[in-house]
Amino acid sequence: MSPTSTTEKSSTMGGIPGHDNFALLSVGSVISLQTSSDPRYPIENILDGFVKEKLISLCENSTLIKSTIKTFWITTGLAPQEFVLTFPFTLKIKKIVLWSAKVASWSIEKSVNEKPQDFEPVGDLESEDADSHLQVSTMIFPTQSLNTNTTATNAILHAKEASAYQGSGEKFIIARHLKITITKMYNEFCSVHKILASGERM
């Protein structure tokens, strides 16, 4: 499966993870392997969650809560680059979302072993270059992929809608580990800002 989608502009809000994200340090998930390291941008940044900010709406005189991206991991070499996300327990994963910049394509694999080994392919994603915007690449099960760009204005996410690729597949994948590989880049460096793995514990 190698889905590709085109990007359309929209002002609708979207792509903000809820309480069902298991790709968080706070639930015990860790990065058990990585191919790039920069102490200024540690890979744990992609698991630190979205920052909640309070904003005052002048027209409504009320407080609004917005989700923002503050931190990220940056690669230090050419593609391919990869990292392994290890959960504290086995999950039924229904959706995977990746927030990034300058990533051209991804490959996702899974493992159910206690140790991160014996990976099986899940699928591939291609992302359009978004210039100064953030890319949002989504894989939903039954197999479906979405690629969008987000404009970070005052660190607030404004998601852009995209067309969807619909294919056949399982309603979820079972995984203890996810291997996420950046197979192509639009630049010598790229960044991964956040990851969402939505589902339920086995």
**Each residue's pLDDT tens digit, 98-136:** 999 999 999 999 999 999 999 999 999 999 998 888 999
Separation of alpha carbons 127 and 105, rounded Å = 6
6 pLDDT band (50/70/90 cuts)? very low
**Each residue's pLDDT tens digit, 10-21:** 222 233 343 489
Q: What is the pLDDT of residue 36?
A: 93
**Each residue's pLDDT tens digit, 151-179:** 332 222 222 222 233 334 558 999 999 99
**Each residue's pLDDT tens digit, 42-62:** 999 999 987 766 555 555 555
**Each residue's pLDDT tens digit, 135-148:** 999 998 876 555 55
